[in-house]
């Protein structure tokens, strides 16, 4: 039923309401059959739905239509629906659950009941929890596109995103299910390493991770994923898909003092406001800067840095190199759009308009036929 109790012009979510969080996607769960080459089951993305009638641990003294109200970081929908077929023993790839809880990840900032922020209809959710974090992506396309839209230089990229992802960019983003497999294998590696696994076991898991990362590079050529490439996001925003790594197109090593810690170390003169966690990054495949698209981006920057020499460089030059490394890697992302996003943040981060950066040679090594091939192609593109 409609209760007509509002916060910030949005109806408050409560147990008496008919509200639903419909088709949150993807909720990736392992699904029978469990046979080679997928002995844990086939990872399949399901749309997952939660309902307000399942509100649990809501308000105690303030009620709407006689029933409890959803509150920030306390209340949840006790169950969700739609992933029942993912019933292989592992179930959800992150939470190992199906029909898990639904938590809200946004709420009113200024309306509170019992000292807690109230949750409203249309606030964001994540689904299929055992406990936080959930099994689905909690951010919208607009979250990812905010910096690009701010610059006014990415109109073609915005139009392409609307065409590929749909006009409603305020809906929750979807990510390739292959990324969940990569994330799962990385967690497996960490568990085995902490448990004292031998070198051969760890090497085998590393090999599996790299194969999955290369496969994910292909999955991310889907139209919507390809369109979203062009929009940079802060390193710590959490707006990259599982299996991706936020890559600083202007590398942190260019701004911090030589040998300094990336986050807490001293910065070069004139960069007092720089924060590597807030600096804009491109979401790339591959955890290490030697694998998949992450490796390609690093290689192209390395080529450009080597060609220009070791002298200090201006922000404009660093932004041009970073933008060109990405625009030549991902077709459809213009150098102008990418550079505008880089300049927007870094111009605000420097306290001296004449502050310079030092070139960094960080990137792929020269060993191995595959790496040499990437470096050769990168040289041709960056010098073209």
How far apart CA 337 and CA 172 sit, in angstroms, is 24
**Residue 354 in tokens:** 């004449």
**Residue 325 in tokens:** 């490394």
Q: What are the residues facing 43 on neighbouring strands?
A: 30
* Segments of the chain with pLDDT less than 50: 131-133, 362-364, 370
Interval 90-134: pLDDT, tens: 888 777 788 888 878 778 888 999 888 898 877 777 765 554 445
How far apart CA 126 and CA 100 sit, in angstroms, is 10
Q: What is the pLDDT of residue 364?
A: 44
Q: What is the pLDDT of residue 133?
A: 47
**Which three-class secondary structure state does DSSP give residue 129?**
strand
How far apart CA 379 and CA 83 sit, in angstroms, is 47
**Residue 137 in tokens:** 């992506």
8 secondary structure, DSSP code? T
10 Å Cβ neighbour count for 380? 10
Q: Are strands 112-113 and 20-31 parallel, antiparallel or unpaired?
A: unpaired
**22-37 b/e with 16+ CB inside 10 Å = b?**
eebbbbbbbbeeeeee
Q: What is the pLDDT of residue 34?
A: 84
173 secondary structure, DSSP code? P
Report CA-CA distances (Å) from 205 to 95, 195, 208, 297.
21, 14, 5, 24
H or E element at residue 347: helix 335-349
Contact (Cβ atoms closer than 8 angstroms) between residue 212 and residue 281: no
Domain residue limits, the chain: 1-138, 156-176+220-382
Q: What is the 3-state secondary structure (H, E, C) of 178-246?
A: HHHHHHHHHHHHHHHHHCCCCHHHHHHHHHHHHHHHHHHHHHCCCHHHHHHCCCCEECCCCCCCCCEEE
Contact (Cβ atoms closer than 8 angstroms) between residue 157 and residue 334: yes
H or E element at residue 62: none
Q: What is the pTM of this model?
A: 0.60
Contact (Cβ atoms closer than 8 angstroms) between residue 131 and residue 158: no
Q: What is the pLDDT of residue 378?
A: 52
C-alpha torsion sign, points 133, 293, 178, 331: positive
* Of the candidates 272, 283, 281, the residue with the CA atom closest to the CA atom of residue 348: 272
How far apart CA 44 and CA 28 sit, in angstroms, is 5
Q: What are phi and psi of 62, to 5 degrees?
A: -100, 125
């Amino acid at each position: 039923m409609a209760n007509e109790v509002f916060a910030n012009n949005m109806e408050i979510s409560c147990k008496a309401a008919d509200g639903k969080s419909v088709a949150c996607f993807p909720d990736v769960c392992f699904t029978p059959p469990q046979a080679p080459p997928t002995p844990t089951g086939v990872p399949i993305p399901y749309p997952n739905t939660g309902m307000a009638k399942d509100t649990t641990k809501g308000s105690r003294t303030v009620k709407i239509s006689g029933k409890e109200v959803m509150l920030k970081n306390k209340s949840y929908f006790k169950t969700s629906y739609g992933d029942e077929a993912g019933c292989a023993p592992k179930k959800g790839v992150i939470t190992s659950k199906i029909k898990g809880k639904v938590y809200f990840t946004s709420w009113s900032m200024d309306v509170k009941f019992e000292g807690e922020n109230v949750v409203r209809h249309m606030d964001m959710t994540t689904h299929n929890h055992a406990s936080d974090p959930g099994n689905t992506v909690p951010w919208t396309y607009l979250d990812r596109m905010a910096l690009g839209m701010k610059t006014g230089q990415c109109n073609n990229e915005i139009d392409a995103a609307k065409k590929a992802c749909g006009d409603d960019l305020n809906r929750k983003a979807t990510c390739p299910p292959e990324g969940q497999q990569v994330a799962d294998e990385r967690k497996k590696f960490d568990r085995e390493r902490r448990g004292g696994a031998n070198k051969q076991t760890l090497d085998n898991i590393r090999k599996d991770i790299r194969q999955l990362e290369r496969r994910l590079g292909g999955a991310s050529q889907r139209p919507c994923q390809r369109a979203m490439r062009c929009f940079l996001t802060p390193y710590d925003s959490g707006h990259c898909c599982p299996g991706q790594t936020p890559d600083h197109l202007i590398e942190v090593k260019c701004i911090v003092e030589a040998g300094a810690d990336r986050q807490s170390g001293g910065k070069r003169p004139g960069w007092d406001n720089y924060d590597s966690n807030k600096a804009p990054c491109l979401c790339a495949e591959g955890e290490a800067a030697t694998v998949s698209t992450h490796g390609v981006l690093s290689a192209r920057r390395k080529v450009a840095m080597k060609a220009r020499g070791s002298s200090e460089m201006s922000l404009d030059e660093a932004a041009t190199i970073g933008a060109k490394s990405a625009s030549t890697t991902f077709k459809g992302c213009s150098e102008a759009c990418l550079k505008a996003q880089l300049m927007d943040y870094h111009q605000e981060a420097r306290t001296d308009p004449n502050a310079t950066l030092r070139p960094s040679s960080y990137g792929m090594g020269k060993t191995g036929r595959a790496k040499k091939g990437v470096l050769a192609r990168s040289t041709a593109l960056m010098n073209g």
